[in-house]
Amino acid sequence: MCGIVGFQSFASLPDTRIVVQAMADSLLNRGPDSSGIWIDEHVGIALAHRRLAILELSVAGHQPMHSTSERYVIAFNGEVYNHNKLRAELKKANLSHCWRGHSDTETLLAAIETWGIEATLQRCIGMFAIALWDKESQTLTLARDRVGEKPLYYGWQGDTFLFGSELKALKTHPAFQADINRDALCLYMRHNYIPAPYSIYQGIQKLLPGTWLQVSRTQRESETKTYWSGVEVSRQGKATPFTGSPEDAVNTLENLLKNAIGQQMMADVPLGAFLSGGIDSSTVVALMQAQSSQPIKTFSIGFHEELYNEAAHAKEVAQHLGTDHTELYVTPDDCMQVIPRLPTLYDEPFADSSQIPTFLVSQLARQHVTVSLSGDAGDELFAGYNRYQLTANTWARLSRIPRPIRQWAAKTITSISPASWNRIANTLKSVIPSFGQWANMGDKLHKGARVMASHSAADLYIGMVSGWQYPTNVVIGGTEPPTFLTGYLPNLSHLNTVERMMVLDLLTYLPDDILCKIDRAAMGVSLESRVPFLDHRLIEFAWQLPLEYKLRENQTKWVLRQVLYRHVPKELIDRPKMGFGIPVDSWLRGSLRDWAENLLSESRLRQDGYFNPALIRQKWKEHLSGQRNWQNDLWSVLMFNAWIEH
């Protein structure tokens, strides 16, 4: 795992070496072991690399690396897990090739020379961001892995084309203009992250997963091509569904997972895994331990607040599997000490509050290992999110009611304050005991009311996953641009309601929130994170499985559970799903109140000029009083203001 950065400039730059070295040094956490730069002043191209050595620890793995013919120069971030198999194929194809070491970067270069860029990308199993310079055609190629595990930003700033793993590296270049994109800010307020291809800066984009682009001195406009598509995978899966028995499905899934995990255990440095005790991480750890002669190192963090604590469950799973387990119970002070680091870690506004425990567990793991596997993406592939069924079931009921009546009902519900609804619910408890299970009923009714007037299940889902429902009302001078969710929805007519939500999460929420969160948190402490569920062969199989193999008898992730039950008893696993969160709502009323008040002050909001102060101050007032829980809406504003202040 590493950091890459570079530029192609049509303007003269007298201190190119100093500039590109500074850009690389800004990515020190991504690659603390060594750095390298390569420059061709005649054509204005510069590549730089920061290395976290995982494979081929010798100088034979140093980058930027030249191909044997000297035609290509590459800066590569990531891992190609099947590179030994590819190398064996290449040795048969070219017996005269002289190999210098056993790094996957060298294999990648040889593959590109032999098969070309697109065929090589199709053959690779892994996670990666690639910058490749072709001296012969004077063409720069950028490529990103299929699902977007590794980040890659790019864009023109004046006469300079910049690219790199993180925005902080691009900002180091003197051509960078740092103009805030208020339209992207609208997207951030809706999603709590900025979805690709947008970034917070004008003129800078994120390369979409599963794509590659090229620019050259003769063709300034970049040409982008897709080599893998989640939508197309879902379409092919539905066209050629798995026809075996449930037992066959479980066997196939276990074999695919074992193979993916076995490949991802490849490392020349210490390796371990995150373990929450949930289905996904427990499955990864169980199959790691089944393939290891030594106890696998596992890591979890715990909270003293029972509602947020999974550490006890993780410990039980670790004891059953016999792992070398390390846990750390953290306090609110531990979490709050992370907050000042968030603007630097995430580099652009990012407001998923689970970013804090993710960083803490990464920090814990890094004290013992250099590589850690995680269970991310199991929910997106096997229908694990409760919102999938909730949205589908809710729409099935709502769609029977004429929309005008739903609009009237929503207006009636919201005419009564959440606090009043809570008092009504407390009164009814004595008469109808089941009302006692609905904590903070007023908030839940208001949240439900805001989506009652939806036109479709897709419209309802957008409401379910949105933070601020009307971002343009709160962002001054912003217009919300189209995304996969809101504007250029792909043709998903081949999927049912639940499957549509799953593929949209694969395209948006997974790469832009979940994978961004783990990449920045882990690389912030120089830890490589790996996600076995994102092996594309596994994704393609998951989309061949009928939905009833994922949702069965009101149980999520059925087929994955059956794999896990072969290794861990049901009683250690079957329990209500918990999020990886922290009690932000109460902290904002307590220990974080002064910090938040400073960032949310009316004078501050007016001076900065990004947000409508009245809307934010009203939510802040309601939150402090306990009338409403606006933690998510407020956290997005707080994270942006902390970022812009930094």
Domain ranges of the chain: 2-228, 242-377+500-572, 387-468, 584-646
Chain position carrying tokens 């850690």: 372
Provide the token pair at 410. Answer: 């929503």
Q: For 399-455, where are the alpha helices, taking DSSP H only?
A: 403-414, 418-428, 441-449
CB atoms within 10 A of CB 432: 10
Calculate the dihedral angle through the C-alpha atoms of 287, 292, 294, 298, rounding to the nearest 10 degrees: -30
The CA distance from 499 to 189, in Å, is: 26
The CA distance from 16 to 101, in Å, is: 30
Binding residues for L-glutamine: 104
The CA distance from 608 to 645, in Å, is: 10
Where are the extended beta strands (E) located within 251-388? Answer: 271-274, 297-303, 324-330, 371-373
Kindly report each contact of residues 495-500 with a partner whose C-beta sits within 8 Å and lies 24 or more positions away, as own/partner: 495/234, 495/238, 496/392, 496/547, 497/391, 497/392, 497/395, 497/457, 498/383, 498/388, 498/389, 498/391, 498/392, 498/547, 498/551, 499/234, 499/547, 500/457, 500/458, 500/461
Q: Running DSSP on this structure, what letter comes out for residue 506?
A: H
pLDDT averaged over consecutive 10-residue blocks of the chain (646 residues)? Answer: 90 86 96 93 94 76 91 96 94 77 92 96 97 96 98 96 97 96 98 97 98 89 93 97 97 98 93 96 98 97 79 94 95 88 94 94 97 97 91 85 82 76 72 57 69 81 89 96 85 93 96 97 97 98 97 92 97 74 86 94 96 96 90 96 92
Same fold, 2-228 and 242-377+500-572: no
Contact 527, 362 (CB under 8 A): yes
User: What is the pairing mode between strands 297-303 and 271-274?
Assistant: parallel
Helix, coil or strand: residue 79: strand
- 2-228 folds as Glutamine Phosphoribosylpyrophosphate, subunit 1, domain 1 (3.60.20)
Helix, coil or strand: residue 198: coil
Find, among 53, 157, 171, the residue nearest to 105 by Cα.
53
Rounded to a whole number, what is the distance in angstroms from the first to the last CA of the chain?
A: 27
Binding residues for ATP: 301, 374-375
The CA distance from 352 to 329, in Å, is: 21
The CA distance from 130 to 64, in Å, is: 11
pLDDT, position 25: 96
C-alpha 166: how far from chain center: 14
Contact 475, 182 (CB under 8 A): yes
Provide the token pair at 621. Answer: 């007032």
Provide the token pair at 392. Answer: 């589908």
Contact 561, 312 (CB under 8 A): no
Q: Tell me: cis bond preceding 197? Omega within 30 of 0 counts.
A: yes
- 42 Cβ contact partners less than 8 Å away, ≥ 6 residues apart: none
State the CATH class of domain 242-377+500-572.
alpha beta
The CA distance from 70 to 87, in Å, is: 19
Contact 253, 242 (CB under 8 A): no
The CA distance from 607 to 152, in Å, is: 33
- 594 Cβ contact partners less than 8 Å away, ≥ 6 residues apart: none
The CA distance from 567 to 556, in Å, is: 18
Q: Give the H or E element holding residue 133.
A: strand 126-134
Which residues does the annotation mark as catalytic? 2
User: What is the pairing mode between strands 153-157 and 297-303?
Assistant: unpaired
Helix, coil or strand: residue 354: coil
User: How distant, in Å, are the alpha carbons of 321, 372, 534 from that of 256?
Assistant: 20, 19, 11
pLDDT, position 95: 60
Q: In the beta sheet, which residues pair with residue 5?
A: 48, 164
The CA distance from 629 to 626, in Å, is: 7
pLDDT, position 303: 83
The CA distance from 271 to 376, in Å, is: 17
Q: Running DSSP on this structure, what letter comes out for residue 228?
A: -
The CA distance from 455 to 269, in Å, is: 53
The CA distance from 417 to 419, in Å, is: 5
Find, among 233, 198, 213, the residue nearest to 380 by Cα.
233
Chain position carrying tokens 């933070």: 467
